[in-house]
Amino acid sequence: MVETHKVESINELNKKLPELEHRNFRDDDFWKSIPAWSQVTREEFGDHLWQQKNSIRKIDQVKKVLGDLATPELMADMEDGQRKTPMNIRITPYIFSLIDWKNAWDDPLRKQFLPLGSQFLPEHPQHMSDSLSEDEDSPVSMLTHRYPDKVLFLPTTLCPVYCSYCTRSRIIGGSTESVDKSSYGANQKKWDEVFDYLRKSPLVEDVVISGGDSFMLTAAQLKYIGESLLKIPHIRRIRYATKGIAIFPMKITSDNAWFEALKDVHKYGLSLGKQVVVHTHFSCPKEITHWSQLAMEKLFRAGIIVRNQAVLQHGVNNDVSDMVLLTRQVGYLNIQPYYVYMHDMVPGCEHFRTTLREGIELEKAVRGTTAGFHTPTFVCDLPGGGGKRHVASYEYYDEENGISVWKAPYVKPGEVFTYVDPIHRLSPEAQKRWQDPETAKKMIADAIAKAKD
Ligand code: SF4
C-alpha cells in the first residue's frame, strides 16, 4: 500500500513561517468595516469607476462614510489639518478602508493622506516650496531638464490621491487654505511644445512622465504622449510614473481601455527597440493587498517592468522591519525596489522628515536582506537641484547641527548643496542655535568650508 502524505499548500506554509510574511496578501472584505460601505460587494469595490466616484474629497465626506467611527476629537483635528496642509484631500475608498480607524492617530495610511492639525511642526528655516529647483531648470513649461540625457515631463498636476508629503505640493491638486497654486489638467497644445523642445534636444534619451499621476490621463492621452515621445528618434526610454498601483489597483484590473493603451505603447516601444516602463510608489506594507497582487500579475504578464520609489517618512516606513517587509513584498510582486528618498525639504512636512543618519542606518539594515538587484538605493535628492546622491556620499556631515554638505560634480560642477535634518530631532542646544538666523548662517557656512577642505 502506498503511503500518502498530506502536502501543505504553499499558502498554508506562508502563513506559518514569519520569514515568509511578505507572501501574505490581505484578501478579506476590509471595506465592509466602513459603515457606509458595509453592503458594497466585491465586484463593486473592484470597479475603477466605483472607486473614483466614491473617492473622498472633503472632511464632511470622511464624517459621512465613517459614521460612529469618526470621533469628534479626530474630526476636529482633521479640520485643523486642512487649515494647515498645502495639499487638498483626495483618497480612494481602497486606501481609506485600509486605515485602522480605531487607531487613526497612528495609522501610516491616515498619516499620508489625511493630515491632522496636531501633527504639524514649525517649518525648518531652510525649507523651500520648490526644494528640487524643478522650476529653475525648466526650459519650457511642464518640463524639467537637469541631467543631459534625462528630462522630467509633468503633463498634468492631478492625482487619484493627494499625498501630504508631496514634493510638488506647490502645484499639485489645486489651491488650499494655505497655498495658492497654478494646478493644470491635460493640455495637448502645451504637450506639443514639450515634444518640439525634445525633438531639438538630441542628447535626451530618457523621459519620466510624472506629474501629477499618469492614472489621471485618459487612455487616448496616455497613448498620444507615449507614441509622440517614442517617435522622437533619440528617445530610448520612457517611464510612466504613477502612485496608482499602490493606491488604486482597480484601475489596472478593471479599466481595460486604459490598460490596453499602456500595453499598446509598450508594444510600440518594443517594435522600435525602446523601453516603456512604469514607476510606482508603495510607501509601506499596509498598502499592499491581494488587489495589488492582481494588478501586478496583469502588468507582469503583459511584460511591463514596474519599479518602486518610496519616500522615507517618520511613522510610516522608518522602521527596519517595515522597510525590509516593504522591500520583500514589492520584490515578490515582481516590482523592482528602486529608490528610497530622503524626504524633501518642502513645506508642511517637518513631522515626516528623518535625519540623514536614520536614512544611512536604514540602508545598512535593509542591504543584504534580499538579492542586491532587489534592494533599493537610499538617496538624497539634493535641495537646489544637484540631483539624486547616495545617502552616504555626502562630503561633510555636522550631525550635531544636522547639516550635510554635498557635491554633484557632473550635474552642477563646482557647486555645493546642503541638506538639513529636522530641528526637533537635534539636541536642545542645537535647536536653540537654529533659532538665531545669524548663528544658523554661520553653522551652514562652517559646514560648507569643512566640506571644501
Ligand atoms: S501621487 Fe505623487 S504627485 Fe500626486 S500627490 Fe502623491 S506624491 Fe504628489
pLDDT in tens, 197-250: 999 999 999 999 997 899 999 999 999 999 999 999 999 999 999 999 999 999
For ligand 1, atom 1, which residue shows the shortest CA distance?
243
Q: Is the pLDDT of residue 2 over 50?
A: no
User: What is the pLDDT, as a whole number, of residue 453?
Assistant: 83
**Are 242 and 278 a contacting pair, CB within 8 Å?**
yes
Determine the average pLDDT of the residues in 122-134. 85
Bridge pairing between strands 237-241 and 335-341: unpaired
Pairwise CA distance, residues 378 & 363, whole Å: 6
Query: What is the C-alpha separation between 410 and 391, in angstroms, rounded?
Result: 17
Query: 201, 147 in Cβ contact below 8 A?
Result: no
Q: What average pLDDT is seen over the chain? A: 94
Query: What average pLDDT score do residues 438-445 get?
Result: 97
Its pTM stands at 0.93
Ligand 1 surroundings by CB, under 6 angstroms: 159, 162-163, 166, 168, 172, 211-213, 243
Distance, CA of 257 to chain centre: 25
DSSP per residue, 160-172: SS--TT-TTTTTT
Q: Is the pLDDT reported for residue 150 higher than 80?
A: yes
Residue nearest to atom 8 of ligand 1 (CA): 166
pLDDT of amino acid 181: 79
The x, y and z cell numbers of residue 433, run together, are 542655535
Interval between CA 91 and ligand 1 midpoint (Å): 11
pLDDT higher than 70, residue 334: yes
Ligand 1 mutation target, pool 213, 287, 381, most atoms within 8 A of CB: 213
* Residue 144 backbone phi and psi in degrees, to 5: -115, 125
**64 has a pLDDT exceeding 90:** yes
Please enumerate in sequence order all residues whose Cβ is within 8 A of that of 286, keeping only pairs 6 or more positions apart, or say none: 98, 107, 108, 109
Please give the number of the atom of ligand 1 that sits closest to the Cα of 165: 7
Q: Which residue has the higher pLDDT, 394 or 146?
A: 394
Average pLDDT (43-61) is: 97
What lies within 8 Å, CB to CB, of 180 at 6+ separation is none
Q: Is the pLDDT of residue 394 over 90?
A: yes
Q: Kindly tell me if the per-residue pLDDT of 7 is higher than 60.
A: no
d(CA 119, CA 78): 10
Q: Is the pLDDT of residue 5 over 60?
A: no
Residues 425, 427, 430, 435: is their CA dihedral positive or negative?
A: positive
**Nearest CA residue ID for atom 6, ligand 1:** 163
Domain assignments of the chain as residue spans, ordered by start:
18-116, 143-393, 396-453
Task: Please report the pLDDT score of residue 175 as a whole number.
Answer: 86
Which residue reads 497654478 in cell numbers? 182
Nearest CA to ligand 1 atom 7: 166
Closest CA to 299 of 280, 285, 315, 312: 280
Cβ atoms 343, 165 nearer than 8 A: yes
Residue matched to cell numbers 502645484: 171
- Note the pLDDT of residue 17: 58
Residue 303 pLDDT > 60: yes
Is the pLDDT at 448 greater than 90, yes or no? yes
Report which of 81, 229, 90 is spatially closest to residue 150, judged by C-alpha positions.
Answer: 229
**What is the C-alpha separation between 351 and 333, in angstroms, rounded?**
30
Test site for ligand 1: of 85, 132, 172, most ligand atoms within 8 A of the Cβ: 172
d(CA 281, CA 284): 9
Burial per residue of 338-367, b for 16 or more beta-carbon CB atoms within 10 angstroms, e otherwise: bbbbbbbbbbbbbbbbbbbebbbbbbeebe
Report the CATH fold assignment for 143-393.
TIM Barrel (3.20.20)
Q: How far is the CA of 243 from the centre of ligand 1 (A)?
A: 7
Under 8 Å between Cβ of 275 and 237: yes
Position 128 scores a pLDDT of: 86
Average pLDDT over residues 71-84: 96
State which of 142, 154, 166, 287 you would mutate to test the pocket of ligand 1, scoring each by most atoms of that ligand within 8 A of its C-beta: 166
